[in-house]
Chain A
């Protein structure tokens, strides 16, 4: 008997079921076919500018930096300015995301752009988020050639661009968007929720930033001001 049959057989014996009871099958099918949201904290359930403000506040509370710009045209200069202010080289690595490619990079001629996944030698990576979650200041990113997953973890500094309109109140809203984009029951290879820069408290419970992932996370929010 295979490991599969043995394990499932033990589960069924313990539950005293055969696995083909129609009411049990129906309950499982129904739950998987129409996923229902559970308890949603009120905290994130705000509209418009208030929701974006909460996102920024929660992100800053977990040591992320936030830059707010009025339009996507301002993003290259915001990136260049952030790098200058932090004494970082004017060099970034980014994926093939159309929204990033379409930015007016001619405004920042001194900023070098490399494209593709990181090999671990880049100091700064730039990604475009699928969205954000105001409840906890969380960014949601997904894998693919547009925004390689290695950019989220290898560079010392991670700059993430997010549209204010893509910031939801809760995680459940973002899952609905992912289902609408990729199809029901289908996920990209990786979805990353990122809430602040990497950290560890493994030595004497002292919180230190920059464990294995980025030491700094800078979020650029486009629009969303009242």
Chain B
């Protein structure tokens, strides 16, 4: 996708006035939050599982080189072909080469955020290979030429009516008079159209939620079963996975799956958890004849072992965006990167550069809800703050902001002056606003008062009031 994060403010403004989007976003709050809360309340061990999940990933990251080697060894032993890609470009070249050797005309795809990150669809299409997204949400946005707006519910920004209009526009081989007023009819239509694509594809490509070092296994998690039809029917299965997806054992994966399903969709367990190891075995009546795994870095090692290290624990559940007031207000597209919400605000500057994505770590109220629901206990606000610091250090912030912070810093370092000036300012504002209790307009505070009133402060500062009480 084209990165539009530099235009975040404009994107957000447009999102706030998009009525379709605002109607669709109501489902995020109503759906995800309630469902998660219910299954979490039903499992007394949930917090202990979160601690265990965090520890598993911490241990793995500390030994990442060794676990990647162990994974490669086991996957190769099972007949899999492991490829290593330093950059998105390397991964694209490897994937194209596999597709060309397979003589592929169409390739079906299970949902994969890494494939969005490396823009594989456009690249394959430019090279004469038709990529077909098969996850219902991904299929819908592919028809619209849009990027996903959520990492697990890519079409959450759309209403049913919009989907109906797209199906009528694209599925012109079907009866124009058909009834598509119900969501069930839309689902049935997509199922029928995609069934033919599944059976015709030469190559199937999926992501991986996890790679298991113990057995050389890749794991995908889906509710629809599209990822399974993608990998079991074509002659060639390609898995694209980033380096931090590796975990030690099948037991470790089981712990992570328990927190993933609950945090993502509020299910006790996702419908299909599929563990794939190598190609079809002698005597197997189905399954792919070739099994390739592309292991991708693409900027992850630059987060390893420094202040952004914790982010590499992320298992892509989406709970942080589901609980984010900023995401609720503007949806995912405004972020202008494949990764959105709080996790996107931390990940995007690392993957696409701070110059591109500096707006995103600033798009947070630091309310802390994301961290409170993160199954991997990633301190997301702290990591966003690290990016803000880097932005400031590198002089990327706007001049007014830098100047304002400079003034504030001067006062903060001179406590007497700070107290004197706040006492004067608060006293003046309190006196001026005494009658109405609020300000409708205020010099230098237009950014605030354009949208809402500023409550008038008490005429005495907090420190003065405390001092009065203590006497």
Contact = CB atoms under 8 A, between A and B. Distances in A.
B187 A190 contact: no
A204 B32 CA distance: 11
Contact of B254 (A171, A178, A194): A171
A202 B188 CA distance: 13
B166 to A, nearest CB: 11
A116 B285 contact: yes
B314 interface: no
Given A14-B301, A172-B251, A32 B70 contact: yes
A208 B52 contact: no
Interface in A82-122: 95, 116-117, 119-120
Contacts of A49: none
Of A37, A39, A210, chain B has the most CB atoms within 10 Å of the CB of: A39
B188 to A, nearest CB: 8
A11 B225 contact: no
Contacts of B223: 198-201, 211
Contacts of A38: 49, 52, 56, 251-252, 254-255
Nearest to A61: B268
Interface in B57-76: 59, 62-70, 72, 74
Interface string B220-258: 000111101100110000000001000011111011011
Nearest to B295: A7
Contact of B44 (A16, A42, A199): A42
B78 interface: yes
Contact of B275 (A117, A120, A144, A191): A191
A143 B228 contact: no
A124 interface: no
Contact of B255 (A39, A144, A188): A39
Of B52, B140, B223, chain A has the most CB atoms within 10 Å of the CB of: B223
Contact of B243 (A11, A43, A213): A11
Interface in A13-65: 13-17, 19, 24-25, 27-28, 31-32, 35-43, 58, 62
Interface residues of A, number: 82
B215 interface: yes
A2 B84 contact: yes
B28 interface: yes
A205 B28 contact: yes
Contacts of B276: 189-190
Of A41, A189, A197, A214, chain B has the most CB atoms within 10 Å of the CB of: A189
Nearest to B82: A4
B283 A145 contact: yes
Interface stretch (B155-163, B325-333, B359-367, B425-433): B155-163
Contacts of A198: 223-225, 271-272
A29 B248 CA distance: 10
Of A3, A149, A202, chain B has the most CB atoms within 10 Å of the CB of: A202
Contacts, number: 278
Interface stretch (A70-78, A150-158, A159-167): A150-158
A202 B137 contact: yes
Interface in B287-308: 287, 295, 297, 301-302, 304-306
Of B44, B86, B134, B283, chain A has the most CB atoms within 10 Å of the CB of: B86
Given A31-B249, A153-B232, A203-B163, A185 B74 contact: yes
B277 interface: yes
Contacts of A154: 229
Given A187-B217, A190-B276, A206 B183 contact: yes
A186 B49 CA distance: 27
B96 interface: no
Nearest to B78: A187
Nearest to A64: B271
Contacts of B198: 120, 212
Interface string B16-55: 0000000010011011100000000001110011001000
9 contacts: A6-B84, A11-B243, A19-B65, A32-B213, A95-B285, A198-B224, A202-B136, A204-B159, A208-B187
The 6 A-B residue pairs with the shortest CB-CB distance in the complex, in nearest-first order? A213-B225, A211-B224, A205-B31, A3-B84, A202-B137, A35-B249
Interface of B: 24, 27-28, 30-32, 43-45, 48-49, 52, 56, 59, 62-70, 72, 74, 78, 83-86, 90, 134-137, 140, 153-156, 158-160, 163, 183-184, 186-188, 191, 194-195, 198-199, 213-217, 223-226, 228-229, 232-233, 243, 248-252, 254-255, 257-258, 265, 267-281, 283-287, 295, 297, 301-302, 304-306
